Structure 1
Amino acid sequence: MESRTPIWNRDALCGRGEFGSFRAVTETSFRHLLIDVGNTSLKWCVLNGADGAQHVESLPNQDELTALTQIVEVEPDMPIAISCVRSDEFADRLSHQLRLAGASRVYAASTEQDFMGFQVAYDNAESLGVDRWLAMLAARRPDTRPVIVVDAGTACTIDVLVGDTHQGGYILSGSTLSQHSLVKETDKIRFDSVTGSSVGPGSTTAACVVNGSWLALSGAIKQVLSDFPNAELLIDGGDAVDLIALGVPGTLTRGLVFQGLSIWLRHLLATRA
């Protein structure tokens, strides 16, 4: 399935988002490094203005600083924006290492209550994960058609927005986390690892647990979609392909966090100019 072409607020970045083929169309083009730090991996992307993404890489934990510091050493003045859902200590260490490598402009994004007219549902905006917030910045529409943003990874987040207003959301265990939790918290639910995804009834303990995790996840998303029947459903994350294959009627959408992070960085630099 083709990636969705986002519809942007007129003040925001216009683009097309698929890892490796993101094209940014803006009045001013400049190279910038975007870093998305998840719970278990780190991804980075160099955006080259109108020429699009030069590279996107997903790095294991032990190698996550090597490639980044090499980029910084070559282009120390390139702006860098970081989205981090790990600890504040990790974010500070990453920023410090980039500055030691010579980076002169390092910025860490944080969720804001009201950004360019977009308002979040949380009373305490800082407690809303910055990755969710950035994805919503990228996904918002200029009209009033609802948008449901799903990021299906270790955890599965579901957020609903209408125009420039976040309606709220949900956080569920991802399929793998759900399976592991059942094994960890029970005495007799044990099985060898299995592959594949299905929502059909299982005939073994393994199949019952695995299929049940997918049924719960896909069912939750479909329930939210039934509450907002005219919504556009965007699905990102490691489990996105499986969910769509299981019949969740959404659009596979890659790179929303990067797109939102680029919007945030461009706005930040414009306000400081």
Structure 2
Amino acid sequence: MKNLWLDIGNTRLKYWITENQQILEHTAELHLQSPADLLLGLIQHFNNAGLDCVGISSVLDKNNNARIISILKRLQVPVTFARVHAEYAGLICAYDHVEQLGIDRWLQVLASASPEQNLCVVSCGTALTIDLTQGLQHLGGYILPNLYLQRDALTQNTKGIQIPDAAFAELSPGRNTIDAVHHGILLGLLSTIRQVMLQFPGKLVLTGGDAALFAQSLSEFDPVIEPDLLLKGLQFYMQHHAEGPSDNKG
């Protein structure tokens, strides 16, 4: 089967086309707050791909998701939106109101969790998110501004200080303002992850665009980098959805 997988986030639209679990095509594009318009420009390409079904992870509101559905109807194949469940494939969600948990976080946990392991799943994307599991029990997590959001906040709210882009690569004390900012932000996020790992020991799983950067400074935890963790979670969700989820809550 040839499938289209869509990850529609706050700033980017990512898609994978797979056939028999093999990735044939993978692209990520900024959608500039108009993901439906971006998708409209891609629909003919998808139509020519000979797809069998579409699976979607979307953080958009109902109105935007309705536009997405109307565009995807042109493909004339089944379309399924993943959603958070109180329990799914044995994994229990920690949130009291499951609809408040981001679908991207849920799918990443769903892809990773196993009865035999405790996990710390860190997604290094637009936000840095941390989710914890104890076996198949999701414990909850943390959300922090990522490297670039923190730098932007300093730029916008600190008068008289200009902070141009620079690499987040060092942890030594900065000897100028630019280095002090970049080294300090990275140190702060790494310290947060270390503190969480000390409180909740387990396997450290990193995903997202900055996963490799964080991994090189967290070697003591022997981190595992999973670049397509959301895709794996979406595939798992769809497979289990076809068999029938454990409940329909959330």
TM-score by length of 1: 0.81
* Mapping for residues 72-87 of structure 1, pairs under 5 Å: 72-75=47-50, 78-87=52-61
Look up the match of 1:97.
71
Give the whole-Å Cα distance in 1 for the aligned partners of 2:188 and 2:90: 34
Look up the match of 2:42.
67
Cα offset, 1:193, TM superposition: 2.1
Look up the match of 1:53.
23
Instruction: Answer whether contact 1:72 1:98 (CA < 8 A) is retained.
Output: no
- Deviations, residues 119-169 of structure 1 (Å, cap 9, x unaligned): 1110000100000000001001131x2111000111000000011100110
Matched, 1:112 2:85: yes
Which of 196, 204, 207 is equivalent to 2:176? 204
Matched, 1:121 2:91: no
Matched, 1:44 2:15: yes
Q: 1:105 to 1:174 in 2, by over 3 A?
A: same
Q: Which amino acid aligns with 1:81?
A: G
Which of 148, 156, 164 is equivalent to 2:136? 164
Give the whole-Å Cα distance in 1 for the aligned partners of 2:137 and 2:218: 28
Which of 246, 251, 260 is equivalent to 2:233? 260
| % same residue | 29
* Mapping for residues 112-261 of structure 1, pairs under 5 Å: 112-143=85-116, 145-229=117-201, 231-248=202-219, 249=221, 250-261=223-234
Runs of 4+ in 1 over 4 A off after TM superposition: none
- Deviations, residues 221-258 of structure 1 (Å, cap 9, x unaligned): 111111123x1101011111111123353221111111
Cα offset, 1:48, TM superposition: 1.4
Give the whole-Å Cα distance in 2 for the aligned partners of 1:138 and 1:266: 12
Cα offset, 1:206, TM superposition: 1.2
Give the whole-Å Cα distance in 1 for the aligned partners of 2:171 and 2:40: 39
SS in 1 for 2:75: coil
Q: 1:91 to 1:177 in 2, by over 3 A?
A: same
Contiguous gaps of at least 5 residues in structure 2: 32-36, 246-250
Instruction: Answer whether contact 2:124 2:206 (CA < 8 A) is retained.
Output: yes
**Mean Cα deviation higher: 185-194 or 147-156:** 185-194
**Mean Cα deviation higher: 88-97 or 176-185:** 88-97
Number of residue pairs matched by the alignment: 238
Give the whole-Å Cα distance in 1 for the aligned partners of 2:162 and 2:62: 36
Q: Which amino acid aligns with 2:129?
A: T
Cα offset, 1:73, TM superposition: 4.7
**Mean Cα deviation higher: 205-214 or 241-250:** 241-250
Give the whole-Å Cα distance in 1 for the aligned partners of 2:67 and 2:194: 40
Give the whole-Å Cα distance in 2 for the aligned partners of 1:152 and 1:259: 17
**Mean Cα deviation higher: 149-158 or 186-195:** 186-195
Give the whole-Å Cα distance in 2 for the aligned partners of 1:92 and 1:68: 16
Instruction: Answer whether contact 1:198 1:246 (CA < 8 A) is retained.
Output: no
Give the whole-Å Cα distance in 2 for the aligned partners of 1:148 and 1:68: 37
**Mean Cα deviation higher: 216-225 or 242-251:** 242-251
Give the whole-Å Cα distance in 1 for the aligned partners of 2:176 and 2:193: 26
TM-score by length of 2: 0.88
Contiguous gaps of at least 5 residues in structure 1: 1-29
Root mean square deviation of aligned Cα: 1.9
